[in-house]
Chain A
């Protein structure tokens, strides 16, 4: 029993070491990965006119849901808050500062393509990975369909083809991976945006643009580039005319989402030492108690 308790303390100690490391990691508000040369998109909701062309372009490029093009002109969809789903990787929603309910502005949501994506950290077979170009890419042939990525995503973006009995896929914005890496084009939604509310470029340049716009039009924007620091930074970033708390974008820490789990995970498996140490310790106990047992074979009954 005493040994049992010691065992606990050892594990507790291992756990707290892992936590200490995790703290240090989490407190570091700097980005965990340098993604300044990654591609990103700056969404300027003050310029967005809510025309839903991005939804149309995305549907024609990816989801091909068969909805007629005219259906994307329907503005009545703004009456109800919508979320991306397997048939729509991006949706536009309407928001307003409660203090100024008439000043409506529209905002497109899609996968943020985090710098340090929780979905990719969660995926046990590497079906989701952060590409060096910026997109968080899904390789469906690896996927086993556990949907842990959906649990992990801090933006609740991955959606699932529950309706398929065979080969269901995780569905989310691809950042038009082939278009931007192989064809050298802009993502379909960016290309179609009539007002150029979407700006495509490297993350660093987009941040420059974003801060320039805030500086030059302080009356138009709240001084906050969403995605610059949230969740360790994201490839897609937002400017808005009012506090982001009024939108559907969640309030997030500046530390990357998977920091804690990865710290614990790598703490436990540091060069496989902790498991091996436990193995050795248990072996030692087994060995020593067996000798004791052999010696006191007869008297063991009163224990």
Chain B
């Protein structure tokens, strides 16, 4: 394989396969549930109530979504700031994940907001409320999303500059867009580093602040997760999950597009993961010890079991697995046992903090998400995958080379791939 291969649109697979049709159906159901929520309101569509004001739309769509989009900034830091050049092949997929991830976070958030049409209020200086952690998260996410779009612009320029040809009546915008792309091309190169660094700083800020959010409810939070270093833990876990998420996607994409997995890049990337996880795990354990909260770990409650699954399943096991070179070099082990497990582990952590750890003072039953909540969440994830696939097939994002029909064992290039690369 050649890691210097340039990114190119992946064209040789059809957009619709069995899998994508299932995803499209799920996404369609999600859209329907989303519209139902907008028309009928939260009471009809969700199981949220005065005891449980936040449900899976916040815990999964927003909190987990932001955490799993962390690959964008960790990869950018590694490749563009620390200049580990060999990782450049995964920068664009990671950037796309982050961009789409945050976009869908915002879409998911809009479903949860009672007055979604007021979502722009935090941008007005007259509304600023600097004491609010959520304000900081909101502002950072808004700016970071803009930064992500700016970072993505060069890819659009690369694909469409000099080739803008909108169909039909939209053709009148051709010149305008063309000149915009030209200006972007000329200026972006000079300033893109500023945006990349800004992206990393913004990420650090709001990733950690997400961990501060629940600290405002000391009496409602379970002591296993209520710690004043929660922001640090959120940041560390976001950094730790960044690479596994990139690995997860990269392998998934190469399987789906029948590309050869970037095994060596991913294996070498995987070396960082046990270290990052180890730091996260160590701080978590030390913090627990310092707070004298060990008693809660083994009290057999639902919370303690969830905490143990999160710690053992999501951190310790993948840490041990990825410490072994043998496992790191196996695509299957990288994918299933490590990347997937870590991703699920961090997702579980977010769900634990926002849902499991939260006990209302006067509970009146337990919160179980409604069918519509699940439909929207599943629909958003499906939609994200579909849009990801669509963009990868139309923009120069993945630089992998196509493998033969026997799934990445052979190194020969298909004629289509060559054609595509010539086209670039």
Contacts and interface: CB of A to CB of B under 8 A. Distances in A.
A205 to B, nearest CB: 29
B216 A261 contact: yes
B80 A258 contact: no
Interface centre among B82, B196, B198 (most CB of A within 10 A): B82
B152 interface: no
Interface in B242-282: 272, 275, 279
A154 B221 CA distance: 11
Contact of A250 (B135, B197, B361): B361
Interface residues of B, number: 76
Nearest to A145: B114
B169 interface: no
A65 interface: no
A292 interface: yes
A125 B122 contact: yes
Interface residues of A, number: 75
A83 B54 contact: no
A12 B129 contact: no
Contacts of B133: 122, 261, 264-265
Given A22-B228, A159-B50, A293-B85, A83 B362 contact: yes
B341 to A, nearest CB: 22
B279 to A, nearest CB: 6
Interface string A1-22: 1011100100110011001001
Interface stretch (B8-16, B22-30, B229-237): B229-237
B55 to A, nearest CB: 10
Contacts of A147: 48, 53-54, 114
Given A163-B41, A168-B41, A126 B129 contact: yes
A167 interface: yes
A44 B237 CA distance: 49
A151 B115 contact: no
A8 B236 contact: yes
Interface string B121-151: 1100001111111111010000000000000
Given A151-B54, A156-B362, A162-B42, A269 B136 contact: yes
Given A3-B82, A164-B41, A264-B231, A156 B216 contact: no
A301 B2 CA distance: 12
A260 B218 contact: yes
Contacts of B214: 151
7 contacts: A16-B229, A121-B131, A123-B129, A146-B112, A146-B134, A154-B361, A160-B53
Interface of B: 38-44, 46, 48-51, 53-54, 77, 80-86, 112-116, 118-119, 121-122, 127-136, 138, 193, 196-198, 200-201, 204-205, 208-209, 212-220, 228-229, 231-232, 235-236, 272, 275, 279, 283, 358, 360-362, 364
Interface of A: 1, 3-5, 8, 11-12, 15-16, 19, 22, 81, 83, 85-86, 118, 120-126, 142-148, 150-152, 154-156, 158-168, 248, 250, 252-253, 257-258, 260-262, 264-266, 268-269, 275, 278-279, 282-283, 285-286, 289-290, 292-293, 300-301, 303
